A and B are shown apart, each in its own frame.
Chain A
């Protein structure tokens, strides 16, 4: 864990993060002693089963935990300490410098507002664009995330879109204000398999092209293998293994990681067979 950023400051550094929810004993901390770091433009995968503390760690970074939760340790985003930062200083970061993609795009979008209205909101709020400028930028964004006839779609409502298209819209919103960090919490879990691959590819292409750091949370190791540069494996609120994707997948040190990988390998079957595919 003694990796050093090769030149330049860290985009995000989480050190000894600990989260205790109200009404629980301190020894039942949801997250305890979690540390990891990301360079600008890098992709980090946070893996673990449900209940391992992945999402809680992400919510802590965004400052979105319910009031009363005790957060200790340090979260620095481009040198700014986020732990203990007042809400009025966090709000300009959320949705602008830090973009968010949630698991369920239907729940992330407002069902009674048009796609255009929802895309314009952060642009006008954070970047002070006029309605006309925001409309132009919205069309550009929809086009960039692969939505056909983007101008016509501004007047569509979320229910008129398929699950994959909705998640594309959510991604467009998340990157609209040129963030330097994108947090994606199980971005494809609610989607169909064939659409999953497309959405992951879009996330990978976008973050690479725009130099955005991506923190991707998933219970699915194969998702993380394809996207991430580094991986942190969480279990029972702690990081049990942290290293490059290569290290973690080829030579897993922790028995829990080995178990998770064995399951994936068994389900994938004979790798020789798989390698023969075009």
Chain B
């Protein structure tokens, strides 16, 4: 869609993250979660990250927003390296926000939607105190929720509605980049499509960039301009989506593609067995 300018919005260079667990009695070998990962996200662009669980996708997301400390490598925003200092991270989090998989555990169950959405406005001082209620109403409108939902608590919302609140919270600080880690994996299929549609709508309206993480190739293909395939903590393939799906290079990418059969292929196999109780089968 867009070609990244000289300094891309997000630049991840040679990121290495190792987890060392010190058990009381046992010494486990270190887990190499990221082994030198590099990627770039341009303005207004969506970069999809696919891979099985354990491939390092979520560690990548958490490291980019400063929730994990890298052993080496850098994360830069608009060409500026984000250091591990508190000021630097506060600045980063204004521009980079995250949406997590589980819409319920990412919300405080005792807080109303109003309190949840007001917090980032207060922290980042984006609006004066008196303007908070209006701004929250605007945020709710942006995610297609009625303003009357301000008084509700997470338990009074459906999974899809909760994820809309999470997205609204991410939008509150007016970020340039949203990292979405499996944002639709815990939702029903019909709701999933609505949330994906909302994310695309917000991108068009606000020029957002997404780092979109999922194990579901169909979803990633639907959303992304560029797809990054990860395995065992390393990037094994980077390609624009047309190239990746037409001519996957890496064995692992082929495996992933083969593992998600489309309904058309599946139907052909099913019809070939001819065991239906119904007479109407294709010849």
B262 x A222 contact (CB < 8 A):
yes
Complex interface bits, B252-283 against A, C-beta within 8 A gives 1, otherwise 0: 00011111111111110111010111111110
- The docked-state distance in angstroms from the alpha carbon of A119 to that of B216 is 33
Let me know if B215 is at the binding interface, CB within 8 A: yes
- The docked-state distance in angstroms from the alpha carbon of A272 to that of B263 is 12
- The docked-state distance in angstroms from the alpha carbon of A41 to that of B192 is 34
Residue total for A at the interface (Cβ-Cβ under 8 A): 52
- The docked-state distance in angstroms from the alpha carbon of A3 to that of B273 is 18
Let me know if B193 is at the binding interface, CB within 8 A: yes
Q: Which of B245, B246, B270 contacts A225 (CB 8 A)?
A: B270
Let me know if A265 is at the binding interface, CB within 8 A: yes
Complex interface bits, A1-42 against B, C-beta within 8 A gives 1, otherwise 0: 001111000000000000000000000000000000111011
- The docked-state distance in angstroms from the alpha carbon of A6 to that of B245 is 42
Name the residue on A nearest B278 (C-beta).
A244
Interface of B, secondary structure class, is helix
Q: Which residues of A contact B276 (CB under 8 A)?
A: 42, 229-230, 244-246
What is the number of contacts between chain A and chain B, taking CB atoms within 8 Å?
A: 130
Q: Which of B66-74, B87-95, B128-136, B218-226 contacts A (4 or more CB under 8 A)?
A: B218-226
A246 x B222 contact (CB < 8 A):
no
Query: Which residues 224-278 in A have Cβ within 8 Å of B in the complex?
Result: 225-230, 243-247, 249-250, 259-261, 263-269, 271, 273-278
Q: Which of B246, B256, B279, B280 contacts A193 (CB 8 A)?
A: B256
**A263-B193 in contact given A3-B277, A41-B275, A192-B52 (Cβ < 8 Å):** yes
- The docked-state distance in angstroms from the alpha carbon of A278 to that of B261 is 11
Let me know if A197 is at the binding interface, CB within 8 A: yes
Q: How far is the CB of B213 from chain A (nearest CB, A)?
A: 14
Q: Which residues of B contact A221 (CB under 8 A)?
A: 189, 263
Further 17 A-B residue pairs, CB within 8 A, beyond A39-B275, A229-B270, A264-B189: A37-B277, A49-B188, A192-B215, A227-B270, A229-B273, A229-B276, A244-B281, A245-B271, A245-B276, A246-B276, A246-B281, A246-B282, A249-B263, A265-B263, A266-B193, A266-B222, A267-B219
In the A-B complex, list the 7 residue pairs whose CB atoms are closest, starting with the nearest. A226-B266, A244-B276, A225-B266, A244-B278, A3-B277, A267-B218, A229-B275
